[in-house]
Amino acid sequence: MGSKKTFYYLDDSKELLDAFSHMAADFGHECFTFSDPFGFIEEFKQKQLKSGVLLIDLDFKIPHLDGINVIEALEENNFCNFDIVYLFTGQIMTPSLRVRLNQFNSNRVQYLLKNSESFVQLLEISHQNANSYILEHSSENDRLEYQAQQRNYDPTSDFTEEELTFDNGMTILDAGCGSGVLSRLIAMRNVNKDINIYAVDSSEARIKDAIKRSQDENLSSIKFKAGNLTNLDFADESIDVIISRFVYEHNPNKFKEITEEAYRVLKKGGIYYVIDSDGILANMGSKNQEFLKLKGDLLDGLQHIFEPYPCRKLPSFLATAGFNFSTPQLVPMIFFEKHDLEYEDHLWRMRFDSFNTLMQKIIGERTDWFKELFFKELWSTEHLFYYTRFIFRAYK
């Protein structure tokens, strides 16, 4: 654990303020909590607070005010000299707030999910150098939640407002739901509707965690279940809308079975949204030939669990299953701006951590060297790191 730190935490949730304050004390840190943003700003006007770590809730329940406004007010008046500033973000944000977050750029700001695990991880981190901060996540669901906060992975950007709004009586299936990000988004957009939302994932552990995240947000309408996407527990033609988001890339040998099963359970006239991306890892460029060779070896060694170009193959499987679809929507996922690179840097450290043992089996003692050069290339201005997201709208 790092040395003793002083935290200043602003949030409109008394429960979270109390929880963090107690945990900070347990870790030997000093913590000052505030619930009124106006009083918080006034505190800085009246006296110069000593440097430390600032934590601010992004989404206040106060009209025309959010955490970004608070940070801007502090920075404009040079009230403080903090080591680093954290914005705590909820699991799902409104589109307008996401736009605000994506437009806001400060080299002192990091983003964390608002949950107890993030609190503990933050308290365990040494802040001796803010630029060396890496938020480690051991859970795949944590990675998915963190990923959804990033502009390039924002689930709201895959659909129109109309596509996320459903009529009473409709049944929606989130096939391959992961942590439940999309299911929760749908539930929040249709809170007063009489609809059925099913969320299925092959991992019982992910489902258990997704249920908890849903309960934490008081979204009890989602029916989570562990299941096989190649053998869904639904009757023929019983689902109005199916969505599979970043599913095929993780199921390289099951494209045919997953697609045919989606066709089976979808009602006539129903729609199957398939969102995936081409070029993950494969598009990382370098002038170093050994790096490129190891990248190829790694992709070959991961081919049983990961497909780097799923969207190139999807049209054939969708057509063979019987779906009708037009040209998919293409969305460039470009990582060039600092805040985008920071997110992607964090995500890749999570990804590498999750399959580090497998990497060592594939590329051996060069694993650490490969990862080190990967992040160097990620931040290099000599390369433009990008993926291409495809949004298929397939009809039965």
Say whether pLDDT at 197 is over 60. Answer: yes
In angstroms, rounded to a whole number, what is the distance separating the alpha carbons of residues 31 and 52? 10
Instruction: Tell me the pLDDT tens digit for each residue of 131-157.
Output: 322 223 335 667 777 676 777 788 888
Backbone φ and ψ for 6, nearest 5 degrees, come out as -110, 125
In angstroms, rounded to a whole number, what is the distance separating the alpha carbons of residues 378 and 382? 9
Instruction: Tell me the pLDDT tens digit for each residue of 345-373.
Output: 888 888 888 888 889 989 999 999 999 99
Q: Contact 337/150 with Cβ under 8 angstroms?
A: no
Position 318 scores a pLDDT of 98
pTM above 0.85, yes or no: no
The CATH number for 153-395, chosen from 3.40.50.150, 3.60.40.10, 3.40.630.30, 3.40.50.970, is 3.40.50.150
Say whether pLDDT at 303 is over 70. Answer: yes
What's the angle, vertex CA 290, arms to CA 286 and CA 293, rounded to 5?
85
In the 3-class helix/strand/coil scheme, how is 255-286 assigned residue by residue? HHHHHHHHHHHEEEEEEEEEEEEECCCCCCCC
Backbone φ and ψ for 259, nearest 5 degrees, come out as -65, -45
> Where in the chain are all domains bearing CATH 3.40.50.2300?
6-133
Position 6 scores a pLDDT of 80
The CATH architecture to which 6-133 belongs is: 3-Layer(aba) Sandwich (3.40)
Backbone φ and ψ for 376, nearest 5 degrees, come out as -65, -45
Backbone φ and ψ for 302, nearest 5 degrees, come out as -100, 5
Average pLDDT over residues 213-242: 94
> Where in the chain are all domains bearing CATH 3.40.50.150?
153-395
In angstroms, rounded to a whole number, what is the distance separating the alpha carbons of residues 104 and 15? 28
Position 1 scores a pLDDT of 39
Position 321 scores a pLDDT of 98
Query: Two tokens at 382?
Result: 């000599």
Position 235 scores a pLDDT of 98
Backbone φ and ψ for 35, nearest 5 degrees, come out as -115, -15
Report which of residues 127 and 369 the model is more confident about. 369
Position 51 scores a pLDDT of 65
Say whether pLDDT at 188 is over 60. Answer: yes
Average pLDDT over residues 80-94: 58
Q: Which of 79-83, 162-166, 200-204, 218-222 has the lowest mean pLDDT?
A: 79-83
Average pLDDT over residues 336-346: 83
Say whether pLDDT at 21 is over 60. Answer: yes
In angstroms, rounded to a whole number, what is the distance separating the alpha carbons of residues 22 and 145? 25
What percentage of the chain's residues is helix, strand, coil (to nearest 5)? 45, 20, 35
Average pLDDT over residues 202-209: 86
